[in-house]
Structure 1
Amino acid sequence: MFKRLTFLLLVGLLAWAYQAIQPPPPKLCGSPSGPLVTASRIKLRDGRYLAYKEHGVPKEVARYKIIYVHAFGSTRHDALIATTVTKEVLEDLGVYIVSFDRPGYGESDPDPKRTRKSLALDIEELGDQLGLGSKFYVIGYSMGGQVIWKCLRYIPHRLAGATLIAPVVNYWWPGLPANLSSAYYKQPPRDQWALRVAHHIPWLIYWWNTQKLFPTSSVVSSSNPNMNIFSRQDLEIIRNANVSERDNKVQAKQQGEFESVLRDMMVGFGTWEFDPLDLKNPFAGKEGSVHLWQGDEDLLVPVELQRYIAEKLPWIHYHELPGAGHLFPAADGISEAILKALLIEEK
């Protein structure tokens, strides 16, 4: 009798544990229980829908066509390069910008098979379906900046130029030396653990970020955020943020936290099939350029990692901003400078 009870208890515990680590199914946009579809969308090669938003001048008359990749926990509405640069500047330069919801975010369908390569191919297909021509520019911010490394690896032949803005660094890239590991330990312990889970045991990532025993990731948690991850400049920018920007954060995860921010962590901090520090200059003939922008007071992405990357890849135009935190693209005049450096100032 005792053995039978023990067996039943063990089975019950295993069943409970299995249920605890399984994320709920996403609430697909357009489904009976899901959010409404309000965005323009394209249908991708595998049947998924990708939502997008256009900014600037019409693409038919644009001199420059840009695909913008949003940050972690954001949407197509958070295209800082488009929303913080004046309409007059965009028109004078002749710039068309399209931002899109990355898979699982906003109104884009989740991609349960998402990989480093698949998102670069999504960007290529977005450019093709919108008729952006054989080459276009790409700009990515934060986790979206990390995506630009994937574009440089998998679709360099489609790029006219690229900009990485405070791109998130995967601490497990082979090319990063051990003596830079101190940058990892500058993060709050709760974030160190969240990244360890994302890299080493990704199948536990949903449970880790929903359990109540230990603090969860600072950047994922909305109920218990850690404001110490923001610099003085960041906090000022946050204080000045408008209500619509905060609403965008809610819309980012409306289909479910797992297929948006948590899968983002799994892909971004997992094991990559290539090392960005091994990349070759895609514009060896100076027909384009690659730029990396970083604030030296960024508490989310350590500046010493970007300095090392810029040193190893000297073909990148490195721009370091004194006193700037992670949110510096929202500061006055910065997005305009980023745009002009890519399009007209440095080749």
Structure 2
Amino acid sequence: MEVPSEPKSWRDELASLVEDTGIKFNGDSITVSPKEFSGKTPPPSTAEAAAEETESLKDQIKGFAKAWGELVVELGRGCRDVVQQTILTEDSYIVKKTKGPVAEVSEKLRFLNEFLPEDRDPVHVWPVVLFVFFLALAVLNVNSKYESATSMVKKVSLHPPSAVRISLPDGRYIAYHEIGVSADKARFSLIVPHGFLSSRLAGIMGIKVSLLEEFGVRLISYDLPGFGESDPHPNRNLNSSALDLSYLADSVGVNGKFWVLGYSSGSLHAWAALKYIPNKVAGAVMFAPLVNPFPKFLTYFYHRTFLSGKHGRIDKWLALSLGKKDRDLVETSAFEEIWHRDVEESVRQNSPKPFVEEAMLQVSNWGFSLMDLQVQRKCPRKGIIPWLQFMYGQPECELTGYLGPIHIWQGMDDMVVPPSMTDYVARVLPTAIVHRLPEEGHFSYFSLCDECHREIFSTVFGSPQGPLNTVDNNTLTKDDVEEASAAQAKSATG
């Protein structure tokens, strides 16, 4: 039973309908509370207003983002349902046409599931793997574009002709470069056929003229046919290469025998000199002899690399692997400067033909074997003529092969021409003197190393004796001629 509330007066009813404004009605008078009513409401402080406004804006952004997220999720679910109900049904045209091929491909690729953990569903895992794969490709592509856009590519420059050239008997011209002592003061003449992707400017990279003068060495390097400023040879081989070297020595006034230096693939032409003109060669100096690139698709490869008109690192251009010392050397500015200038001279004629020819010479039949250079005792056959020769005191047997000294330097960390190749040469030519260099690579000992160059010259030529003395800079004295002849004979016999 509800107890009826006491009836309210009209004043109480009116007060319940409005807020307490501080105005009080007491009987016949109206009073205003000064504490609760001061004429107007004081405004909030600036900091409080900014905080309310900032908080309100942040809440609005959060709410907006949340609403859009929910909308996108619902839209995706709706699209998925539409696809499942229309396109991916058993009766749809697309499913009927692709079901068979997809099942066949899936069956062939099922073996890939063996690489997944047992608790992973392939249907869920492989889409994730593919997504990550394509994402990585996209990132790499962006990075490569950024690097290519920001890195400075140095273009190959064409320099004006600067070589001295001589005419060969067949009408061709061959370009050469020489440093060191002059022809009339040379105690030793050293001729250098350059290696692959090089020119007459290389010689011995970084060799000091003062060192050449100290040992009395005349260093002559030349452009192979088709390289630098030398004319191409229509049918060149290693025999013609040896003849070119011989004609060059005669034309530049080399007195007596000369030494030949073969570095890397330039050793082919040094071997040819030992085979075809042995009587003119006092000795051979080899550095990492023989290199064997494959000539297949070489024209295309060369146009993509050093014939592209742009410079690049040697290990990238020739697809070489380098050891630590070689990597440190090729990254120096000194090596890069000499290397770029040498390349520019090598590709002067902008033709892949001499490079292809050079590569083909390296992998084809040389026309001789290294066994032919082996020192052997050749005795005459039995018969009346050998018997008569023996009766008249002529030697019964004679030595064949190359009789002069052969020095080979090989870096044991060489990843361009492996040490195993020098080991093979040492087995075939047991008289060759092999200098194995621990921790040295293909370039590190031969290039830009003053101490190394001094060790090489001391090993080959002995103690430095300086250039020959001359009278009026033209005429050699009798003592100088005898001294030079003795030095040449001593170096030839090792």
**TM-score scaled by length of structure 2:** 0.51
Q: Does 1:329 align with 2:446?
A: yes
Instruction: Tell me which residue corresponds to 1:277.
Output: 371
Counterpart code for 2:276 = Y
CA distance in 1, matches of 2:350, 2:368: 29
Residue matched to 1:49: 173
Question: Are the aligned partners of 1:73 and 1:252 in contact in 2 as well (CA < 8 Å)?
Answer: yes
Equivalent in the alignment of 2:354: 260
* 1:158 paired residue among 280, 288, 292: 280
Considering fraction of residues, name the structure with more helix. Answer: 2
Match of 2:460 in 1: 342
Q: Is the 1:137–1:160 contact (alpha carbons within 8 Å) kept by the matching residues of 2?
A: yes
1:226-241 → structure 2 map (5 Å cutoff): 229-240=321-332, 241=335
Distance 1:226 1:54, change over 3 A: closer
Question: Do structure 1's residue 37 and structure 2's residue 153 form an aligned pair?
Answer: no
Does the 8 Å contact 2:278/2:402 carry over to 1? Answer: no
Find the structure with the greater CA-based Rg: 2
- Counterpart residue type for residue 260 of structure 1: P
Aligned equivalents of 2:401 and 2:373: distance in 1?
16
Match of 1:114 among 236, 244, 261: 236
Alignment match, 2:108: none
Q: Check conservation: 1:66, 1:97, Cα contact below 8 A.
A: yes
Match status 1:128 vs 2:128 = no
Greater RCO (CA < 8 Å, at least 6 residues apart): 1
Whether 2:219 is the aligned partner of 1:97: answer: yes
> Aligned match of 2:200 in 70, 73, 76?
76
Q: Aligned equivalents of 1:210 and 1:221: distance in 2?
A: 15
TM-score scaled by structure 1?
0.72
Deviation at 1:262, TM superposition (A): 1.9
Partner of 1:206: 299
**1:278: how far off?**
3.3
Q: Which amino acid aligns with 1:150?
A: A
User: In 1, distance between residues paired with 2:352 and 2:453?
Assistant: 31
- Cα distance change, pair 325–221 in 1 and its aligned pair in 2 (3 A): closer
Closer/same/farther in 2, CA of residues 225 and 211 from structure 1, 3 Å limit: closer
- Root-mean-square deviation (CA, aligned residues, Å) is 2.9
Contact 1:134–1:158 under 8 Å retained in 2: yes
Whole-angstrom CA distance in 1 between matches of 2:229 and 2:413:
33
Q: What letter is aligned with 1:305?
A: M
Q: How do residues 185-224 of structure 1 correspond to structure 2 at under 5 angstroms?
A: 194-195=294-295, 197=296, 205-207=298-300, 209-210=302-303
User: 5 Å matches for 1:148-187?
Assistant: 148-170=270-292
Deviations 1:293-347 (A, max 9, x none): 1111111111112112112211101111111111130152222222222222771
Find the partner of 2:413 among 297, 305, 316. Answer: 297
1:305-324 aligned at under 5 Å gives the runs: 305-324=421-440
Contact 1:112 1:259 in 2 (8 A): no
Q: 1:162 to 1:245 in 2, by over 3 A?
A: same
* Counterpart for residue 4 of structure 2: none
> What is the SS of the residue equivalent to 2:425?
helix
Count the aligned residue pairs: 276
Unaligned 5+ runs, structure 1: 1-33, 171-190, 198-203, 213-219
**Cα distance in 2 between the residues matched to 1:211 and 1:59:** 42
Q: Which amino acid aligns with 2:455?
A: A
Flag the 1:115–1:301 CA change in 2: closer, same or farther, 3 A: same
Would you identify which runs of 4 or more consecutive aligned residues in structure 1 move more than 6 Å? 220-223, 282-287
Q: How much does 1:242 deviate?
A: 4.1
